Amino acid sequence: MTALVFPPVLSPHGTSRLILVRHGEVPGIKPPSFRGTQDLPLTDRGREQAASTAHYLAATPDIKVVASSPLSRCVETARAIANHHGGTVSPMTGLMDFNYGDWQGHFHKDVAAAYPQDYDAWMRTPDLARIPNGDTLEAVAQRAVGAANEALAQAENGTAVIVTHDSVIRTLILAILCLPLRNYWKFTSDPCGVSIFKPRYGEWSVERINESIHTHK
């Protein structure tokens, strides 16, 4: 039996709070496609979601860092949040989305038909899956946790906000909860969903995961 792989440790670094935010809606979410490292713009709905999220987080105290994937859909969402706190956005390459290689830009249904075994492995055992010419989940977890640790260190005793992608948020939550990468599909991450964690005796305590009521109209 193959041993389970765990993401690296994500330490609180003395911060008061860690907030994870997925970017707003972009083309290709419905029906689902493998968007990955394509630099897709926010839709009109995505910009509305970003504005609603910024308003939702406006009263959050002591935000010292707003870090973001360098892709524009995340930077634009992050900028809306940072503007409420007089801050700037810090793009970090480690927060970049999963590179889906040969699958990138294609709908899930088409990939499932063209690569049935590889697609099944991705859906059942994502930690073992090998996407042709793409990332591995372990590699994404390594760089994502590294970037998150950097953002937390920069936040000192304040709040760090990280705006990134579905894939990165899933791996960071697994790192926070000390769960193996096999549990990648255990969480839902909606556009502009907000997950909040607070430190407690050197570990993380869950305040909320994928809160998205603020985006509903």
Domain ranges of the chain: 17-100+136-215
pLDDT at 1 over 60: no
> Is beta strand 194-200 parallel, antiparallel or unpaired with respect to 89-91?
unpaired
**Residue 114 CB coordination number (10 Å):** 12
Task: Give the pLDDT of residue 217.
Answer: 66
User: Any known ligand binding at 124?
Assistant: no
Region 135-146: mean pLDDT is 97
Task: Give the pLDDT of residue 89.
Answer: 95
- Helical H runs in the chain? 44-56, 72-83, 108-114, 116-124, 137-155, 166-176
Region 161-182: mean pLDDT is 97
Region 163-187: mean pLDDT is 97
| Separation of alpha carbons 118 and 102, rounded Å | 11
Question: Which residues, listed in sequence order, are joined to residue 205 by a DSSP beta bridge?
Answer: 198
Instruction: Classify domain 17-100+136-215 by CATH architecture.
Output: 3-Layer(aba) Sandwich (3.40)
In angstroms, the Cα distances linking 177 to 7, 35, 134, 180 are 10, 26, 26, 9
pTM of the entire predicted model: 0.96
Q: Could you read off the pLDDT of 42-94 as tens digits, one per residue?
A: 999 999 999 999 999 999 989 999 999 999 999 999 999 999 888 899 999 99
Task: Give the pLDDT of residue 202.
Answer: 86
Q: How confident is residue 13, by pLDDT bands cut at 50, 70 and 90? A: confident
